[in-house]
């Protein structure tokens, strides 16, 4: 396969999905209405609910959903060959990914910007709310801990990167003030901040900042704390908006590099069904994650973006459009890895430097076709990698402090305080990072993330049913995601239990004891089994609603 051909096909899939399929769903089923008031206009509070331009919100949405998944997943999945990964990126996005993102945003709009906890209470049962919130809290905690570790590791090992990340925080705050308080022209502010952001990447190559791992862990958590407690217009939204352009420049630059260089794939189309990390099905489908579909997106769309949309018509370009662009990012990551001079080079780089190293070198290779110096290209790619993680961390902590209030706020009023919820979440994340426990639980992330997507489809289908709208286009994806993710969780939990019993001293990770490693595997296996049980309980309660309509008025109970 030629890299340029793959890119052209991907752009075609995105165009067909956005204009034909998404357009049909918007017009015929959702029937978006530009005259309907949105939660942002009804409940504007300047903190979470704030009407926002679709152009700003598109950048916010993309950078809020595009984390490490679309980069790490395809690079790891290439071990099965480029064809299975390519097909799932295309078909997964076309039939599942954008559907979940868009429908979650619309459901949030029509249900007054309520969280998934409140929606599960209304659409399913009180027990479903408790189970879902408990699942969400663990899931979000895992993201913060894992991403915090990745950010700190990258910034400590690549001193050219920190300058750009520190500048991003400062420039984001300034751009928020300039746009919302200074009423400056959006285009002028955008150009100025993007130029300064790129300059900060160059500055980092000339004046590297060298600090230890712990310093950058604290910085990443502080960055996230501000994102969790400050008004969204003043910090999170402008930072993610400016970050979008840096990532977008990387996407455009790499695409131009493909256009000029257009190398063939060195990777085989298919290797084997079973590789070291598991069988192609179901493991590939949870490995690629955000590159095709991600449960995280449903949280952003329903509880974040839905509270900022000023017009229902904006939901398709913002939610669906951002997902199709993320598909292109996942495709580029796959092209970067598949186009190494030799497949063995990719495997060696993956083993020695991990997916982050493959991504940085691959993007630098394609930027090289544009005569971009390798030093700057590598630093720019590394900065994008960190930005993909840290900009999502701040949103995760924001959702965690809301979940803290919903879980314990009624019993302990102190937990309703935003600072309390954020600090508790960050302290737990710090403990996971510092102890290394997250490394064992991380193997569950892919499956738990996609399981969140299955739960989102369940809620969306129940909402569509309550509105007497067709829901087959969300019900079938729900069934597929439940079967796939529960199968993946079962395989992962079984593997972790086997390691608990069979692990030897020679297999213990560096810096840990045999007892620590066995305990970590056991805890992870138990968590995996808990997630399976929780998902089955939620599914069971949801199916009861499907098959128990109110005979008096034809409506669904509990809605």
Rg of the chain's alpha carbons, rounded to an integer?
Answer: 22
Task: Quickly count helices (H) and strands (E) in the chain.
Answer: 24, 2
Helix (H) or strand (E) holding 195: helix 186-206
Q: CA–CA separation, 439 vs 146, rounded Å?
A: 8
Task: Tell the residue number behind the tokens 């209405």, with chain if given.
Answer: 33
Instruction: Spell out the residues 6+ positions from residue 333 whose beta carbon is closer than 8 angstroms to its own.
Output: 70, 71, 72, 73, 74, 75, 291, 359, 362
Q: CA–CA separation, 19 vs 57, rounded Å?
A: 20
* DSSP structure string for 28-66: III---TTSPPHHHHS--SSS---B-HHHHHHHHHHHH-
Q: What is the pLDDT along the chain (559 residues), one digit of tens a residue?
A: 999 999 999 999 999 999 999 999 999 999 999 999 999 999 988 778 999 999 999 998 998 898 888 999 999 999 999 999 999 999 999 999 999 999 999 999 999 988 888 899 899 988 888 888 888 888 888 889 889 998 999 999 999 999 999 999 999 999 999 999 999 999 999 999 999 999 999 999 999 999 999 999 999 999 999 999 999 889 998 999 999 999 999 999 999 999 999 999 999 999 999 988 889 999 999 999 889 999 999 999 998 899 999 999 999 999 999 999 999 999 999 999 999 999 999 999 999 888 888 999 999 999 999 999 999 999 999 999 999 999 999 999 998 998 898 888 778 888 889 999 999 999 999 988 887 777 777 778 888 889 999 999 999 999 999 999 999 999 999 999 999 999 999 998 998 899 888 888 887 777 677 887 888 888 888 888 988 998 899 999 999 888 875 544 444 444 3
């Amino acid at each position: 396969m030629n890299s340029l051909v793959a890119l052209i096909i991907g752009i075609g899939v995105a165009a067909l999905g956005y204009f034909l399929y998404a357009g049909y769903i918007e017009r015929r089923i959702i029937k978006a209405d530009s005259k309907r008031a949105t939660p942002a206009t009804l409940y504007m509070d300047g903190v979470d609910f704030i009407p926002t331009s679709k152009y700003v919100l598109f950048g916010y949405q993309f950078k809020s959903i595009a984390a490490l998944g679309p980069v790490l997943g395809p690079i790891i999945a290439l071990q099965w060959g480029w064809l299975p990964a390519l097909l799932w990126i295309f078909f997964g996005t076309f039939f599942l990914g954008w559907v979940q993102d868009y429908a979650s945003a619309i459901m949030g709009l029509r249900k007054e910007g309520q969280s998934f906890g409140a929606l599960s209470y209304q659409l399913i049962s009180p027990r479903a709310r408790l189970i879902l919130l408990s699942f969400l809290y663990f899931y979000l905690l895992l993201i913060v801990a894992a991403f915090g570790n990745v950010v700190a590791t990258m910034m400590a090992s690549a001193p050219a990167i920190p300058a750009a990340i520190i500048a991003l925080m400062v420039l984001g705050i300034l751009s928020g003030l300039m746009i919302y308080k200074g009423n400056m022209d959006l285009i002028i502010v955008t150009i100025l901040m993007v130029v300064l952001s790129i300059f900060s990447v160059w500055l980092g190559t000339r004046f590297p900042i060298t600090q230890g791992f712990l310093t950058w862990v604290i910085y990443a958590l502080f960055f996230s704390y501000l994102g969790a407690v400050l008004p969204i217009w003043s910090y999170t939204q402008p930072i993610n908006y400016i970050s979008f352009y840096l990532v977008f420049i990387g996407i455009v630059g790499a695409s131009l590099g493909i256009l000029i260089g257009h190398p063939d794939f060195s990777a085989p189309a298919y290797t084997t069904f079973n590789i070291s990390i598991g069988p192609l099905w179901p493991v590939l489908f949870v490995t690629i994650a955000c590159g095709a579909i991600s449960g995280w997106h449903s949280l952003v769309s329903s509880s974040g973006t839905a509270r900022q949309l000023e017009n229902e018509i904006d939901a398709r370009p913002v939610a669906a459009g951002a997902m199709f662009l993320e598909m292109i990012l996942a495709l580029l990551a796959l092209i970067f890895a598949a186009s190494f001079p030799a497949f063995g080079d990719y495997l060696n780089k993956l083993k020695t430097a991990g997916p982050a190293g493959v991504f940085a070198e691959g993007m630098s290779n394609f930027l090289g076709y544009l005569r971009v110096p390798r030093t700057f290209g590598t630093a720019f790619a590394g900065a994008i990698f960190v930005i993909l993680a840290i900009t999502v961390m701040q949103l995760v902590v924001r959702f965690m402090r809301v979940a803290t209030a919903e879980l314990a706020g009624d019993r302990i009023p102190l937990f309703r305080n935003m600072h309390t919820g954020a600090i508790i979440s960050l302290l737990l994340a710090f403990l996971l990072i510092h102890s290394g426990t997250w490394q064992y639980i991380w193997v569950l992330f892919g499956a738990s993330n996609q399981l969140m997507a299955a739960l989102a489809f369940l809620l969306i289908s129940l909402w569509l049913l309550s509105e007497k709208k067709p829901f087959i286009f969300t019900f079938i994806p729900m069934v597929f995601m439940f079967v796939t993710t529960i199968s993946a969780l079962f395989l992962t939990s079984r593997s972790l239990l086997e390691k608990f019993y069979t692990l030897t001293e020679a297999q213990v990770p560096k810096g840990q004891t045999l007892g620590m490693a066995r305990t970590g595997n056991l805890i992870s296996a138990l968590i995996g089994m808990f997630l399976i049980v929780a998902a089955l309980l939620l599914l069971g309660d949801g199916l009861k609603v499907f098959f128990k309509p109110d005979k008096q008025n034809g409506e669904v109970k509990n809605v």
